[in-house]
Amino acid sequence: MATDISGITGYYTNGNNNTNSSSQQLSADMNTFLQLLTTQLKYQDPMDPMDTAEFTNQLVQYSSVEQAIQTNEKLDTMMSLSIANLGAQAVSYIGKTVQVLGDVMPLEGGKAKASYTLDKDVLSATIVVKDMNGNVVYSQSGEKTSGTHEFNWDGKDSDGNQLEDGAYQIEVSTKVAEGDTAASVTTTIFGKVTGVASDQNNIYVGLGDAVTAQLGDIVTIRYDDYFDKNPDGGEGEGNGDGEGSGGEEVTPPEEETQSYFSI
């Protein structure tokens, strides 16, 4: 089932808005300049006409503003073509599992996966999963050492009840020694790409049926059945400690990274 993400708009629109604002400002400046210039010509003293050099300088300024407006229009066209090209490339991601910077992960078929990176050792770390209403549905202790740690969730709440597939937020809180600076935590989420969408500003991918991500936030791309493989080649589910159903530690497969342009 493909994710319908055709209606997503309004994300990261600052770049395009700034371009439009600049073009509007340049147009306004040009109109103001023309009004001033024609007013000068209309009311100049016939016995003391406008200096030729100054008049030429003002015409050059007018030409510069006009060229700046045309440059902005061409840049907008190039940006649109670049986004369209990136969208065509992103179609090849459909069916693959991607790792994305963010904290909202898709729960699909009772499986969800995320990772968190600590910049230093901490006294304790707590992983909390919330639904999109902000309710805590699951929590557990996490790894305390610096570095990247994976979190596999079977979609069950703290009482063992299986939750519905959808979007869930992961938060990692830490505790450090008294007087020490707080630890920095970076989270990423994993999901299978189910669709691609774009607007005039950016490219987006659908993860499962409930989460969308910006193309520029993708950090790795992995083979399609990443979630379903155990080290021995069989299938199985993992838990929050990174262990498979057989109790053996799961070693992540090699990452298949692909290059792309950030927007």
Task: List % helix, strand, coil for the chain (3-state, nearest 5).
Answer: 30, 30, 40
Closest CA to 184 of 124, 226, 237, 122: 122
**For 4-15, what is the mean pLDDT?**
34
- Please, which residues have CB within 8 angstroms of residue 59's CB and are 6 or more apart in sequence? none
- How confident is the model at residue 248, as a pLDDT? 38
Structure tokens at 85: 């090209």
User: How far is residue 34 from each of residues 25, 30, 38, 49, measured CA to CA in Å?
Assistant: 14, 6, 6, 18
Q: How confident is the model at residue 106 (pLDDT cuts 50, 70, 90)?
A: very high
The yes-or-no verdict on residue 161 having pLDDT over 80 is yes
The yes-or-no verdict on residue 140 having pLDDT over 50 is yes
How far apart CA 242 and CA 252 sit, in angstroms, is 9
- How confident is the model at residue 235, as a pLDDT? 43
> Phi then psi for 262, rounded to 5 degrees?
-85, 145
Closest CA to 187 of 216, 149, 227: 149
**For 50-56, what is the mean pLDDT?**
63
The yes-or-no verdict on residue 261 having pLDDT over 60 is no
The overall pTM is greater than 0.75: no
Q: How confident is the model at residue 152 (pLDDT cuts 50, 70, 90)?
A: very high
Average predicted confidence (pLDDT) for the chain = 74
Single-letter code of the amino acid located at 179: G
The yes-or-no verdict on residue 254 having pLDDT over 50 is no
- Tell me which DSSP letter residue 226 carries: G
Q: Which CATH architecture has domain 94-228?
A: Sandwich (2.60)
**For 92-107, what is the mean pLDDT?**
92
How far apart CA 37 and CA 28 sit, in angstroms, is 14
Give the distance from CA 46 to its chain's centroid: 63
Asked whether the beta carbons of 192 and 95 are under 8 A apart, the reply is yes
**For 61-88, what is the mean pLDDT?**
69
How far apart CA 107 and CA 230 sit, in angstroms, is 19
- How confident is the model at residue 72, as a pLDDT? 75
Q: Count the Cβ atoms, other than its own, within 10 Å of residue 78.
A: 10
Sign of CA dihedral 93, 99, 102, 104: positive
Q: How confident is the model at residue 103 (pLDDT cuts 50, 70, 90)?
A: very high
Which H helix or E strand runs over 121? none
Asked whether the beta carbons of 142 and 178 are under 8 A apart, the reply is no
Single-letter code of the amino acid located at 97: T
**For 57-75, what is the mean pLDDT?**
71
**For 142-168, what is the mean pLDDT?**
95
- How confident is the model at residue 27, as a pLDDT? 59
Residues 129, 157, 102: CA angle, nearest 5 degrees: 20
The yes-or-no verdict on residue 137 having pLDDT over 70 is yes
